[in-house]
Amino acid sequence: MKRILTILALSAVCLTSNAQIVWKISGNGIKKASYIVGTHHSCPDEYCDSIPGLMKAFKKVDNVIGEFNMIKMKQMTPQEMEQMQSMMMMPADTSFASLFTEDEKARLDDYLKANLGVPSDMLASLKPMAIMITLMNRKILEIMPDANKKTGMDQHLQNLAKAEGKGIDGLESMNYQMELLFSGSLEDQADALLEYMDTNNTKELLMQLTDAYKSQDLDRLWEVFQEQMTDYEYDTMVKVRNLNWESRMKELLPKQSTLFVVGAGHLPGEYGMISLLRKAGYKVTPVKK
């Protein structure tokens, strides 16, 4: 379950303004170029203005398509929101404590008291993955104290698209992302939470990824991915999703010019979006200004 740590860490890192994260998609019979930008989901909206070429690309396109439609998510009914939140809750027939040995629970209590100020019993209604994400968010706030007070990049670009009358959509649904995170076995989630607690290297991982971004080194980013994830984990969280996105993009690219907004970890590697789109016959080139 290292995949969750890597994916969440990757989405939390702020990039420097010289990082190459905007790419132009052209050729292969499409009449008007589209673009893809690699984002981090925690940096504030004003960061968009510092990314070379991003806002110019935004002005040129007809649509903004993210990983999921955030505008639609904000329009969910209370019943839909409750259903989504229920994915994070422990099932009625299983207790949180039953997932751990007495020793593991004691160590987890100490860790949660030190990092969240409460013992595990106070969080026992949540699935282990929900607790781990809470811990990750706390670590993000240590690095970016204002992260929870401002609109993130992904939301900001969709908000701008709505204000300017551009089309908005998602490559997948929010429910699908929630299922990826929370539908795995509770035992695997418990193991992942213990691994997070025992390794406790989130900050170091964030620094490694930051260094890769600062040097515009997608090869190094790919190396960090490989170091942190098993083949199965990469296939589940990245490869399969990227292949799904590629199919969706091939349907959309001939129709209208689009800015695709996805987590930066989806760009590099053999099954990264840059490589997949090139193999599909598109010309994918960096946008530097």
How far is residue 167 CA from its own chain's centroid?
A: 22
Confidence of residue 274 (pLDDT cuts 50, 70, 90): very high
pLDDT for 162-218, tens place per residue? 999 999 999 999 889 888 889 889 998 999 899 888 876 767 777 777 676 556 666
- Asked, for residue 13, whether it belongs to a domain, the answer is yes
Confidence of residue 15 (pLDDT cuts 50, 70, 90): very low
Does the pLDDT at position 11 exceed 50? no
Does the pLDDT at position 9 exceed 50? no
Does the pLDDT at position 267 exceed 50? yes
Does the pLDDT at position 150 exceed 90? no
Does the pLDDT at position 52 exceed 80? yes
- Asked, for residue 49, whether it belongs to a domain, the answer is yes
- Asked, for residue 95, whether it belongs to a domain, the answer is no
pLDDT value of residue 45: 82
Domain total of the chain: 1
- Asked, for residue 143, whether it belongs to a domain, the answer is no
Angle, vertex CA 93, rays to CA 88 and CA 97, nearest 5: 70
Does the pLDDT at position 31 exceed 60? yes
- Asked, for residue 164, whether it belongs to a domain, the answer is yes
Nearest to 213 by CA among 280, 263, 159, 279: 263
Does the pLDDT at position 50 exceed 70? yes
Owning domain of residue 165: 2-81+151-181+201-286
Q: Is the dihedral of CA 82, 83, 85, 91 positive or negative?
A: positive
DSSP E strands: which ranges in 62-196? Answer: 63-66, 167-170
Q: Is 103 exposed, middle or buried (0-12, 13-18, 19+ CB in 10 A)?
A: exposed
In the chain, % of residues over pLDDT 70: 87
- Asked, for residue 242, whether it belongs to a domain, the answer is yes
pLDDT for 65-105, tens place per residue? 999 999 988 788 888 888 889 999 999 999 999 999 999 99
In the chain, % of residues over pLDDT 90: 52
- Asked, for residue 73, whether it belongs to a domain, the answer is yes
Does the pLDDT at position 26 exceed 60? yes
- Asked, for residue 35, whether it belongs to a domain, the answer is yes
